[in-house]
Amino acid sequence: MANELNRYQRIIERIFLAKYSPGLHEFTFQRDEFEATAHELCITLPKNVSDILYSFRFRTPLPASVQSTAPADMRWIIELAGHGLYRFTLKAESLIDILPNPLIAETKIPDATPGVVAKYALSDEQALLAKVRYNRLIDIFLGVACYSLQNHLRTTVPGIGQIETDEIYIGVDRRGAQYIIPVQAKGGKDKISIVQIEQDIALSQHKYPSLVCRPVAAQFMKGDVIALFEFEIQQKHVAISAEKHYRLVSPDEISEEELSAYRRRQVD
């Protein structure tokens, strides 16, 4: 079994199995354990140790030997638990990954992305953030005037540790109410995780307690359609309060029939 696993999987598997015992629903481990574990397994530790954690938190599943210990309909995830401290936690499958609903109708938006920006975007995530920003998709989605405050905000939140949010917007509505809007963006194979949304909410409450938090996530779909989600806390859990899908096109690709259909849509 071990020979079939890559080095990331072997390291995380060893850390998990060394601490797990039946009946546990969560337990912590330290970042320092990666070096000792790699030494025990005679594995060269990656230069960027954080990539191991990012991979299993947002990109790839934990090894089958880890997930096989979880009850039906539940899954082990890795959460932040403080400075240099992490936590394996059991969560219901339905409360982890967020996937776009394929039945949501698309809305065509005239593409205002500067050509030079689209040409030199370095990654799916960066391209997605740029398209969202230049096309004012957060404004359109939430129905408030929004302004980008900071990209890749990295800060420390008590009880969680260091976290990073892809972009922070400030919003103002017609009444003058102000909002803090943390945005997570995912392209390629990365998935939106409820864990990240929970962290964004905690960040907003800690750094901007006087503003109303409206967390948003953006996801590239097939055909470069952009799915946007808004979240809220419901019965102590993160829930999706709105989901819309946008396709950026040249203005002449939006027909009169489509514009007429948009006018007939029910306003949320």
Torsion angle of C-alpha atoms 173, 175, 177, 180, degrees rounded to 10:
0
Residue 267: predicted pLDDT = 64
d(CA 240, CA 247): 21
d(CA 104, CA 138): 18
In a domain, 57, yes or no: yes
In a domain, 101, yes or no: no
Split at pLDDT 50, 70, 90, the class of 95 is low
- My answer on whether 197 and 171 are in the same domain is yes
In the chain, the number of structural domains is 2
Split at pLDDT 50, 70, 90, the class of 1 is very low
- My answer on whether 137 and 35 are in the same domain is no
User: Residue 268, Cα to own-chain centre: how many angstroms?
Assistant: 24
For residue 133, what are the domain limits?
Answer: 106-264
Split at pLDDT 50, 70, 90, the class of 66 is very high
For tokens 């420390």, the residue is: 156
Check residue 55 and report its DSSP letter: I
- My answer on whether 233 and 204 are in the same domain is yes
Q: Which residue has the higher pLDDT, 268 or 85?
A: 85
Q: What is the pTM of this model?
A: 0.76
Residue 2: predicted pLDDT = 46
Last residue of a domain, one of 94, 115, 149: 94
- My answer on whether 47 and 129 are in the same domain is no
The pLDDT of residue 125 is above 50:
yes
Last residue of a domain, one of 36, 64, 94: 94
d(CA 39, CA 266): 60
Q: What is the mean pLDDT of the chain?
A: 89
Residue 162: predicted pLDDT = 76
In a domain, 99, yes or no: no
pLDDT digits (tens, 9 = 90+) for 30-52: 988 999 999 999 988 878 888 88
> For residue 218, what are its two tokens?
């953006």
- My answer on whether 231 and 117 are in the same domain is yes
- My answer on whether 148 and 80 are in the same domain is no
The pLDDT of residue 219 is above 90:
yes
- My answer on whether 110 and 183 are in the same domain is yes
In a domain, 100, yes or no: no
Pick from 96-100, 171-175, 260-264: least confident: 96-100
- My answer on whether 192 and 226 are in the same domain is yes
Residue 126: predicted pLDDT = 86
In a domain, 206, yes or no: yes
- My answer on whether 90 and 178 are in the same domain is no
- My answer on whether 130 and 161 are in the same domain is yes
In a domain, 167, yes or no: yes
- My answer on whether 90 and 165 are in the same domain is no
Torsion angle of C-alpha atoms 238, 240, 242, 243, degrees rounded to 10:
130
pLDDT digits (tens, 9 = 90+) for 134-182: 999 999 999 999 999 999 888 888 877 778 899 999 999 999 999 999 9
In a domain, 252, yes or no: yes
In a domain, 172, yes or no: yes
- My answer on whether 189 and 254 are in the same domain is yes
